[in-house]
Amino acid sequence: MMNLEKRHQIWIGIALGALIAATHGHHFATALNLPPATWVVFFLAGFYLRSAWAFGALLAEVVAIDYIAVAFGGVSAFCVSPAYGFLLPAYGTLWLAGRWFATRYSFSLRALPALVASLVVSITLAEAFTSGGFYFFSDRFTETNLAEFGTRLVQYFPHTLSSFAFWAGIALIVHVAFALVRGNARKQA
């Protein structure tokens, strides 16, 4: 089980919020914009942060960023539709998967299957909620069907996976580095 002191959780929460602030809304990586980290942040928040208020705070941050971008930043409101509400179960799925993995965590290779399962299942469900919600409930498509949705899923899901994998890989490297430093510090104490 992942157990962190409250002060460490606060610093991690601040870092995760800053990562959302820095990357949310950039839908394609460029030299100036990193890929969006929002989905990984919700997974990591579920893993590292024990208080459920963090979920609400991160959700409020995302909604505020989206609102400011559309209302004042000149960003198209195309994605703002009745389907926007499907972000709640998508982010919730990622959060809960992080929570689930935290209960199975150990700093060993034995935790790898649970990590992979939690990541694969949560990102697949989150994509189904967001893409499916937008396709079927946004009123942007006149005649919807599963075949066309499948085609769109095949087109857009790889980009989501690549962004998620980018940030999950960085998070894994940072986590391992901190765990090794902590482990060495305990051995020397």
* Tens-digit pLDDT profile for residues 81-136: 888 999 999 999 999 999 999 999 999 999 999 999 999 999 999 999 999 988 88
Q: Domain boundaries in the chain?
A: 6-188
Residues in the chain: 189
Q: Tell me which residue has tokens 């290779």.
A: 109
- 108 secondary structure, DSSP code: S
pTM of the shown model: 0.91
pLDDT tens digits along 167-188: 999 999 999 999 898 776 566 5
For residues 163 and 38, give the distance between their C-alpha atoms in angstroms, rounded to a whole number.
10
More confident residue, 142 or 150: 150
